[in-house]
Structures are given as structure tokens and as C-alpha cells.
Amino acid sequence: MLSGRSLPFLPYSRYLRDRFGGPVRKLCVDAGFTCPNLDGNKGTGGCAFCNNAAFSAGSRGNRRDLATQVEAGRRYLARRYGESRYILYFQAFSNTYAPLPELDYLYRLFQGEEDVVGIAVGTRPDCIDHGVVELLDGLAAETHVTLELGIQTIHDASLRRVRRGHTWTESRAALELAAGRRFDLCLHAILGLPGEGREEIRETAEALARFPYHSLKLHNLHIVHGTDLAEPYRAGRIHLPDRPTYISWVADFLERTPPTVALQRLVGDAPPNLLLSEGWCHDKPGLYRDLLAEFDHRGSRQGIYAAAPLRLAAGA
């Protein structure tokens, strides 16, 4: 396990341990949400990198079986990592995309259980409004809450290219709404989107650093069967970074990220049977070692080029 004390970046495991005084893990649940980029509100095809096959009836979770999912998650995590407490992670699709009373009901379902210390809610920036932020802020007075926003990039041309269905202006509005609240904020970025290289990635890191946030998930763009990127990738029209390039981009990003922001994810996950691009993303321990070696080689660490965050009032 990464200890964090002498590391050139702050691992999320360390952040959680400091906060909760013991091991805490995220337990994923699929509460049967959908997404405006799939249900016709913004689009029906989804993001070009999203595997919509996972959206088909029968393969999704439903709200009735949440207790089963939580129980199975507990057993799996205990077997794999030993005893722990849990943050329930509403992960699949857009987990703020439902009426507020429904959200309130779902988010509270397992609070009060001895081993549940809070929730994490993953969503798109355009699925955040004042009501959602107020709801999460109220909940955060009672339990730990993390809002996870899929920003992906600040570049509108890239967002359009992958048919993301929202703009950087919408992301910025969500970041301003979420600033200064009682919940944690986690931001997601994808490194290696078509048309992007080191410069665009640095610009995204620099722009995000201007907002107060607590943790970061970085994701390499990988190509998965059944997505709209599969065909152009096979035809050689999409070029992905190799492993050393990706690691150097991650180091670039972290150098521009405040040292208080914990790294939740270094690389994306895809089931090997669905992955079309190279499989190095599965070697997480090796990639962490590569990142340490990269920082060592540079003689640098997280935050050395990070700008100070803007001063934003709560709900600005």
C-alpha cells in the first residue's frame, strides 16, 4: 500500500485513512439511473467512448436490488482487502439525474448502517443545479458526501469530438455552484482525448486548479468494443499515448494540481474482454511505480506549478 508520507503525490487511500482513522473503501452500486446523453434529452448515442451495451435492459442494476448489491460488495471487498468501512458509490450513469425526493431517498438508504461512512455520487456537470447542491450540502452535515463530476477536459472542441453533450461553460457553472459546500468534490479528467496532447492536458489541470476540490480521478482514453471510437481506432485514425507518454502526462497534470488534492485514480479500468486498445491500464501497481520513477527523474512533485484557487463564495 502507498503510504503517502514521503510520496510525491497524495494517494486517496491516505486521505481516507487520515479522515476516518482506518481503512475505508468505495463500494459501487448501480441504482438504475440513466443519462441525458442517452435518454434523448441531450442525445441518444451517448459519449463516443461510452459502451452503451452496458445500458441494455437486464444488465443494469435496479433500485430494488440495492441491498443485494451492497451485501455482495461487502463480501467481495472484505475477501479482497480485509475488514473496512465503506463509502457507497453511486457510480453508473448520471446519479443526480432524477427528481430530488427520489435522490434524497436513495442517498439515505444505507446511512446509519454501522460500516457505512458516507456516499459518493458520480454525475455530469450539466446534471447539477441549485437543488441538487443544496440536497448534498444538507446530507453532508449528517454523513460524508463526495460529489464526483465528469469534467473530462476544458476544451469544447474535444468535448464536441467525443459527443459529450456539455460544454466547459456548463462545467465551470457546476464547479462554481459546488464551491465552498460541506461535501467533498472529486473531478474526473480523461487524458488522451482525440485532438489533445500535452498542452491541452496541462491547460485542463491549470484551469481545474483554480477551483477548490478535494480529489481527482484521471483516466486514460481507452477504446472499448461497442463504442463509436472502435472503428476509427481500428482504422488507425485515433492515436493513443503509449504507457510512458501517459505517465508523463499524469505527472504534468499532478504538477499543476494543488498538493491537497488526493489522487483517487491514476488510470481507467475496462474488462479485458471488452478492451480493444492496449491492456497496460490493468497493471496498476506497475503504473504507480512508473509514476514514482517519473517524479523521481524530474525531481518534482504534485503541485509545484499549481496556481492558487480562485476565492469563490459558497454557491457562487
Would you tell me which residues interact with ligand SF4 (CB under 6 A)? 35, 37-38, 46-47, 50, 93, 124
Of residues 35 and 223, the one with the C-beta less far from ligand SF4: 35
Count CB neighbours of 61 within 10 A: 18
DSSP label at residue 89: E
Residue 62, all three cell numbers: 435496479
Q: How far apart are the first and last CA of the chain?
A: 38
Count CB neighbours of 8 within 10 A: 20
Residue indicated by cell numbers 455520487: 121
Beta strands in 82-236 (DSSP E): 85-90, 116-123, 144-152, 184-191, 215-220
Helices (H) and strands (E) in the chain, counts: 10, 7
Of residues 124 and 155, the one with the C-beta less far from ligand SF4: 124
Count CB neighbours of 238 within 10 A: 19
Least CB distance to ligand SF4 at residue 222 (A): 13
Least CB distance to ligand SF4 at residue 179 (A): 22
Q: Given CA atoms 310, 175, 228, 26 in this order, what sign does their dihedral have? A: positive
Least CB distance to ligand SF4 at residue 50 (A): 3
Least CB distance to ligand SF4 at residue 35 (A): 3
78 burial type by CB count under 10 A (0-12 exposed, 13-18 middle, 19+ buried): middle
Of residues 13 and 123, the one with the C-beta less far from ligand SF4: 123
Answer for the pair 163, 45: CB distance below 8 angstroms, yes or no. Answer: yes
Residue type, 293: A
Least CB distance to ligand SF4 at residue 95 (A): 10
Of residues 122 and 212, the one with the C-beta less far from ligand SF4: 122
Of residues 144 and 219, the one with the C-beta less far from ligand SF4: 219
Least CB distance to ligand SF4 at residue 90 (A): 13
Of residues 195 and 244, the one with the C-beta less far from ligand SF4: 195
